[in-house]
Chain A
Amino acid sequence: MGKDDPSVEPSLPGSSGPPMKRRVFLKRTLALGALLSVAGVGKHLFRGAVWTDGKKFKHLSDTEAETLARLGDVLLPPEEGFPSNESVNLVGRIDEKLGHLSEGERGDIKSLLFAFEYLAPVLGPALGTFSSLSTGMQERYVMGWMTSRLGFKRMAFRGLKQLTMLVYYTHEATWPAIGYKGTWVGEHGRGGA
């Protein structure tokens, strides 16, 4: 049996077979998140990230922003030569990017953040929401999503990681660390179609 045989993957949402519709994907993700929230951190269900609980940002609630900031700390930890996530305004720029999405797409990202935050108690390495875990536990939790046998967790991780990395590395303060010298605008004249 080779790796291309779908039977090597568990028969779980999004792991193999025909792709799911968006609503099905999110419903399953959120249903699990809600169940686990009730089981472990009931009060958070009502304080959850899909509801507005503060407005430092235009689109993200304070809870969602906190989840993203902590996820950013794990994905892009401090390292010499690289600017900090705060200095490139990582969360604020993600918030700006969300402004370009349709309401439905924006809602999807917010739902994923909700699930990511509140799935931690049962599927994670310790009790507590993602943001409340220690750094080491957060790393294990993120690794668990990335390598999960559950397709929907891998894909949700991919979506959040892609957004975070895209926004971080499009900031020019990150470029010296990777040797990128920027584009050529202004050096060769411009077009005008």
Chain B
Amino acid sequence: MIRTAKDITQNASFKTDVVIIGSGAGGAMLAWALSQKGVSVIMLEKGRHVLSSTFNQRELDMYETLYAGGARTGPSDLSSSILFGNVLGGSSVHYMANSFRLPEFKRKQWREQHGLDWIQDEVLDPNYDIIEQHLSVHSAMESELNENNKIIKRGLEKMGWRGEPARHARKACIGAGTCLIGCPFDRKMSQLVATVPDLVAKGVPIFTDTEVVKIVIRGGRAVGLEAKTRDPETGKQTASIRIDADHVVLAAGGVGSAVFWQKSGLPDTSGQVGKNFQVTPHLFVFGEFEHDVNGTYGTPCSWVSHQFEEQKGVEGGYMMQGIFAQPGMVGSMMPGFGREHRRMMRLFTKGAAVLSLIDDEEPGEVGVAGDGTPEIRYHLRGKDLPKARDFLKKATQVLLAAGAKRVIIPDVRITQIASEKELDKIDAVSLSPGQIPFVGTSCLGTLRMGKDPAKSVVGLNHETHAVKNLYVSDASWFPGSSAVDPSMTIMNGSLRLAGMLLNR
């Protein structure tokens, strides 16, 4: 059953085997796996329960409804946007549904550089199989490619670079193209659509509008939590909740979990809480075509390239995928202002865009501002700059090869490239903060996993070093970027944790 603030008007206490804070990919999947085995679970969500039938596909409404901070969250200096969810189902409600297994080079890196020796094919792949089945993950069909993605496919082929249909979690996608603002047709297998109904059927109590304020610790062990339920309209508290549990799991996301840790006064014994923040930055380049592309419709990100996923020498360190968005998002990302900006917006139907997922290495940080909101510090810098620049070049080449009349780099100088001969213009593009827009959607690393309690927050079994019986089941535990959309690996960790808890 799902209980909202309207249902929870009196203080209450509960007892359960496992209480989970957060309902996104990490929390919902853990609840699903445990409830399948008869374990008593309660799942808490700070945000609202929003029916997908109310997703009206209007950008401003949906940004306010689905995203933390109305999609205005970002580094404190406004240099970029960091997007994550704030509803039942978490970020999966507005994610792009791309579903990739952790690449081989990352598995090796996580084992060898970060000491996560459990990152083995025989551990990961059986769990990936379960997740793929649960979410109907499959390779995008040719019929699902919109013109934006066909352009990317054509450009990659002409360049002789690897490209392939995206693995995605959609069922009979009708191509509305509004994944970023929620699918009202229930074709995207978000946790809200794919998992929450199973939890309800199993009788798992789900409390929304419920913010955990404190983990109850006794003798160094988490034994429960205290939460407050608030009316989402007024912000007024409607009830206090106390939950006693054998195990407490933090799954509030790469930003949310770190903020909660700091606000609630949990001990930061390693000094690493909130550190190591990474976002796999999304930069984009925009190609102008003679014909109508209408990239805003159809299945987004349906054709991808892993050609440059791993950095080799001066090349690579990013994924490429085809994407477009609705007018508000496009207008806010397009460079310049005034008549020049208007001219570019007039190309809305004739544009195709290529998006990066940069395998970032330079960490940011998540803290807590005075008003309790996330205080994010993140810049594209250092080792990540050559990757970003190489992406701008390769994506430009892809669009030119596919027949673009010109390619627009959205830096403040509005760099425009009409042929391969002009590629060196990209060398002059400044990537300093505020010079070129980017978005981060894969928030991770803030409660890093590792063997050494002096250098990490979470142990190899997902249990925190500082507090026994307190676990982490979201991308906070990642030791670094996953180089691809992290959702499959978040869920993989949740299934592994479920197995461990079942054996306790």
- Write the residues of chain A forming the contact surface with B, with a CB cutoff of 8 angstroms: 2-4, 6, 8-9, 14-23, 25, 74-77, 79, 82, 93, 97, 100-105, 112, 139, 142, 146-147, 151-152, 154-159, 161-163, 165-170, 174-175, 177-180, 183-185, 188-193
Contacts and interface: CB of A to CB of B under 8 A. Distances in A.
A105 B52 contact: no
B75 A97 contact: no
B339 A79 contact: yes
Q: Which of A74, A170, A177, A193 has the most CB of B within 10 A?
A: A193
Nearest to A179: B349
Interface string B423-435: 0000111111111
Interface of B: 51-53, 55-60, 64, 69-70, 72, 75-79, 81, 174, 176-178, 183-187, 192-193, 196-197, 292, 296-297, 326-332, 334, 336-339, 341-342, 345-346, 348-349, 364-365, 367, 369-373, 375, 377-379, 381, 385-386, 389, 412-413, 427-435, 437
Given A180-B327, A191-B53, A191-B183, A19 B76 contact: yes
A79 B342 contact: yes
B470 to A, nearest CB: 27
9 contacts: A3-B427, A4-B431, A19-B364, A21-B377, A75-B341, A163-B332, A183-B178, A188-B185, A191-B184
A169 B345 contact: yes
Given A155-B434, A159-B78, A3 B346 contact: no
A158 B432 contact: no
A182 to B, nearest CB: 8
Nearest to A189: B185
B383 to A, nearest CB: 9
Contact of A102 (B77, B79, B371, B378): B371
Interface of A (DSSP majority class): helix
Contacts of B348: 178-180
A59 B345 CA distance: 30
Nearest to B428: A3
Contacts of B385: 4
Given A104-B369, A161-B337, A178-B346, A169 B79 contact: no
Contacts of A147: 412-413
Contact of B186 (A15, A25, A104, A193): A193
Nearest to A22: B76
Given A19-B377, A158-B434, A191-B187, 17 more contacts: A3-B389, A3-B427, A3-B428, A20-B76, A21-B375, A21-B377, A154-B434, A155-B78, A158-B79, A163-B332, A165-B341, A166-B331, A169-B327, A169-B331, A189-B185, A191-B184, A193-B192
A105 B373 contact: yes
Nearest to B54: A190
Nearest to B75: A19
A138 B337 CA distance: 12
B339 A77 contact: yes
A161 B410 CA distance: 14
Contacts of A174: 327
Q: How would you classify the secondary structure of chain B's contact residues: helix, strand, loop or mixed?
A: loop
A75 B337 contact: yes
A132 B372 CA distance: 37
Contacts of A112: 78
A143 to B, nearest CB: 8
A82 B339 CA distance: 11
A20 B349 CA distance: 38
A14 B432 CA distance: 9
A82 B375 contact: no
A79 B342 CA distance: 8
A101 B183 contact: no
A22 B375 contact: yes
Given A154-B434, A183-B176, A25 B412 contact: no
